[in-house]
Structure 1
Amino acid sequence: MISGLPMAVPEPGLPARVRIHEVGPRDGLQNEKAIVPAEVKAEFIRRLAAAGLGTVEATSFVHPKWVPQLADAEQLLPLLDGVPARLPVLVPNARGLERARALGAREVAVFGSATESFAKANLNRTVDESLEMFAPVVAGAREAGLAVRGYLSMCFGDPWEGAVPLEQVVRVARRLLDLGCDELSLGDTIGVATPGHVTALLTALNEAGVETGRLAVHFHDTYGQALANTLAALRHGVTTVDASAGGLGGCPYAKSATGNLATEDLVWMLDGLGIDTGVDLGRLTATSVWMAEQLGRPSPSRTVRALSHQEP
């Protein structure tokens, strides 16, 4: 399948290793029109783990009415016994946490917004109200010994509000971390960030006392900037990058959001920089080709197309 791999030419100052937080089974499939069977999702996750992805976000415990594509969380998790990967799940509220814990989840995530418009569209709450809702969820998860990730969406631009001031993002980011989140993923939900903007936000967060080691980045490729933005984050010291196998996904509550950064495109760049990910690009590409067949369309990932000779 693979016609070649990039020549590794390291760049001084970049991390030696990057952890890829794979979001395809959750953030990718939640945007599909068709309902993917739980058995197919489980096989997708098993193949991703076998390709070397050590963190695979499995599903979300939101109400089925809001995200029907992930309504099978209770059926899916028991199918993942023995998968050699961390399997975090999204929990929107205390009820979601209760459901996740009952199934043995060891890592959870909450999903906040840096802007009022998206908080109302996605959570039907203001930013402050959503943080109040998350407080007992994060506290309960930590008391149970679970790792907690915070997602912060609309960190760079909002389809209703436009550009988002740095200080606004910093304020909400600090509050999420102060609640007790172990890690915070900064989301470019509609893909409008550019490298200078990424550097400016990371610098502002550092100046506000947020350590780079607690941050991850989550870029969408709407304007073709996801890899450039990732490189800017790596140069700043970020070592955790979210990506979606095959470039699956978007956001059901922000129609201008296109696909996530494709995991294959990310691995190709990181391999070329001599950065270790532990991911076998050939097996990953084969997995995304298989998943594209299940969905009935070619993968949008440029690397998948190049290495598997798929037609666009």
Structure 2
Amino acid sequence: MTTIMKAKTAIAALEEQLQKDAAQVKATIGREPNLTVLLVGDDPASAIYVRNKQKRAEQLGVDSQTLHLPADTTQAALLAKVHELNADDKVDGILVQLPVPDQIDDDAVINAIDPSKDVDGFTLQTTGRLWTVPKNSQETVGPCTPLGIIKLLDFYGIDIAGKNAVIVGRSNIVGKPMAAMLLNRGATVTIAHSQTENLHEVMRRADILVAATGRRHMVTAADVKPGATVIDVGMNRFIDENGKKRLVGDVDFDAVSKIAGAITPVPGGVGPMTVNLLMAQTIRAAAAKISQ
């Protein structure tokens, strides 16, 4: 029988520990862990993401504030705000909500964040740490979506060491850091993408297949080895033939779930894990101050 790797079950197990950790931080330093989000402009999807983060922070005992800047904010002004937050000892985590307006170089802004406050896991220093840890490391620093996937695999007892893992997608947010985390856990990793020759054959060799392309139902049953673990990172919104709004992943869930050994649903799979790992890293950043 196929295991449906729902985030809700894993989050329930994680939630109690996060609440305890946040309470311990508050008892020790006299305030809740703080996450400050910089939101530039009025992108509707970004506004929804930020509200979801705010709601989850409140549930876990994290103080989350959003600094909403106008769409015409200059890069210099945004960098000045980042440096101000870097110097604020009451701010534990800084997150720049992407995308940012075209006049802003997002790489420059992200890399201006103090690495100790990089709870989104995107700075070059965090990336470097992820790729240079010892083999078979349990390194827990990095982008929140891949971290959430590792948590799901661990929760559902999916062995990683020695497995053939294929990641379809080479983004800096998911594909590349996911490869590092799986490699650090002892998997043999292939990063596939739009220019990969014989892509469907490559996918069929995977014991662990991670789809992160943003292409609706790109992965079909013919692309999956029977018994494989399939992780669907895609979030594709569209209007179906009945005029209803739908959200589906990169994987044809109905077909693939019949042959996979384990699979994440969309919605309810990887997405909710991302927000919780963001909170976990914020709490960890605050806790690190206790020993300083």
TM-score tier (shorter): 0.3 to 0.5
Task: Tell me which structure has the larger Cα radius of gyration.
Answer: 2
Instruction: Normalising by structure 2, report the TM-score.
Output: 0.32
Instruction: Normalising by structure 1, report the TM-score.
Output: 0.31
